[in-house]
């Protein structure tokens, strides 16, 4: 798969964002109080090519918490440090077919979560981290700087809001504790998970992680190997099958770009061998995916020829 020149990508991105901003469907994630009050029309997108060239569009000052898109961070970091055998003792690698916060599947298919990109799987991985809450959060921020290319702060207001509205995640965590998947203090592990979800930045920072994955684990524009190719293969595969929860299949058919969503309205996507993409708008559909984000990614895939199944097809 090849990339058009940067001016073509920029023009396509500008048009996609402008068209998406006319879409008034969807609503914010109002079950987390801090997310219920975000400016509803904020919309932005960035494409980071493996060369290091960047195209961005939309509200330049749009910042958001990375939410579940940051679940990729714990998966990548633990795969790099401990390897897949140890990681997949705690989580599976199959699509759940359920919503991201499903408790029922742990009862019917448990005790191991279906995959690391749903809430139960990410909580289980946070439980694999060692040390105090502060030491585990420090591990998160070190990996965030490595994968996003710059220090990424934690929005403590959102972290506190998550902590105060987490009845379902607490139920999940106690199910994991009961099943022997989660050891140690449940509230401490959840506090680490809330910190992970509360990493905050803009689309230019968020695009860096998928751009590393798109570039075989190398930092765009530098040739520096920051993630192994083995980890890249595992993570991108799980993004393709599980990253958009119970709309993963429909999304992949439409775009052909492995992706991971978050309920702040962010979606990060990988165009293998070409670019990482981040889009964000807080208007969500009933599956927790950004309505405008989906639309922007469909436009980019179609107009730039970035659907993986069509990229090498003969005309």
- Catalytic residue chosen out of the listed positions 71, 148, 186, 248: 71
Contact 283, 40 (CB under 8 A): yes
For residues 279 and 292, is the Cβ–Cβ distance under 8 A? yes
Active site residue 71: yes
Answer yes or no: 158 catalytic.
no
148 part of the active site: no
Asked if 68 is an active-site residue, the reply is yes
Catalytic residue among 181, 193, 200, 268: 193
The one catalytic residue among 96, 245, 260, 280: 245
Catalytic hit among 17, 44, 50, 68:
68
Phi/psi at 145 (nearest 5 deg)?
-65, -40
Alpha-carbon span 247 to 110, nearest angstrom: 22
Catalytic residue among 17, 38, 47, 263: 263
Q: For the residues of 92-148, what is the DSSP string, one character each?
A: --S---S-TT-SHHHHHH-SS-S-TTSHHHHHHHHHHS-S-HHHHHHHHHHHHHHHH
245 is catalytic: yes
Type and span of the H or E element at 48 = strand 44-49
Bridge partners for 210 per DSSP: none
Q: Which residues are designated catalytic?
A: 68, 71, 193, 245, 263
């Amino acid at each position: 798969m090849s990339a058009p020149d940067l001016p073509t990508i920029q023009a396509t991105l500008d048009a996609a964002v402008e068209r998406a901003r006319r879409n008034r469907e969807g609503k914010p994630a109002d079950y987390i109080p801090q997310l219920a009050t975000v400016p509803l029309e904020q919309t932005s997108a960035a494409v980071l090519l493996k060369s290091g060239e960047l195209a961005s569009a939309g509200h330049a000052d749009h910042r958001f918490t990375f939410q579940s898109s940051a679940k990729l961070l714990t998966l990548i970091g633990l795969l790099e440090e401990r390897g897949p055998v140890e990681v997949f003792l705690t989580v599976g690698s199959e699509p759940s077919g359920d919503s991201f916060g499903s408790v029922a599947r742990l009862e019917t298919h448990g005790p191991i979560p279906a995959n690391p990109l749903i809430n139960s799987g990410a909580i289980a991985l946070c439980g694999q981290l060692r040390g105090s809450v502060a030491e585990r959060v420090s591990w998160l921020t070190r990996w965030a700087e490595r994968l996003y290319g710059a220090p990424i702060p934690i929005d403590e207001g959102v972290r506190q809001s998550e902590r105060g509205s987490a009845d379902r995640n607490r139920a999940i965590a106690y199910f994991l504790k009961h099943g022997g998947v989660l050891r140690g203090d449940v509230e401490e592990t959840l506090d680490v998970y809330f910190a992970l979800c509360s990493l905050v930045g803009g689309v230019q920072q968020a695009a860096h992680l998928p751009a590393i994955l798109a570039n075989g684990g190398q930092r765009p524009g530098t040739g520096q190997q920051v993630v192994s190719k083995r980890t890249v293969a595992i993570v991108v595969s799980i993004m393709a099958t599980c990253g958009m929860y119970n709309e993963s299949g429909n999304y992949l058919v439409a775009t052909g770009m492995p992706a991971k969503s978050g309920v702040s309205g962010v979606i990060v996507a990988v165009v293998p061998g070409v670019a990482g993409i981040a889009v964000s708008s807080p208007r969500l559909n009933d599956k927790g995916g950004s309505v405008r984000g989906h639309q922007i990614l469909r436009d980019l895939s179609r107009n730039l020829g970035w659907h993986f199944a069509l990229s090498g097809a003969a005309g």
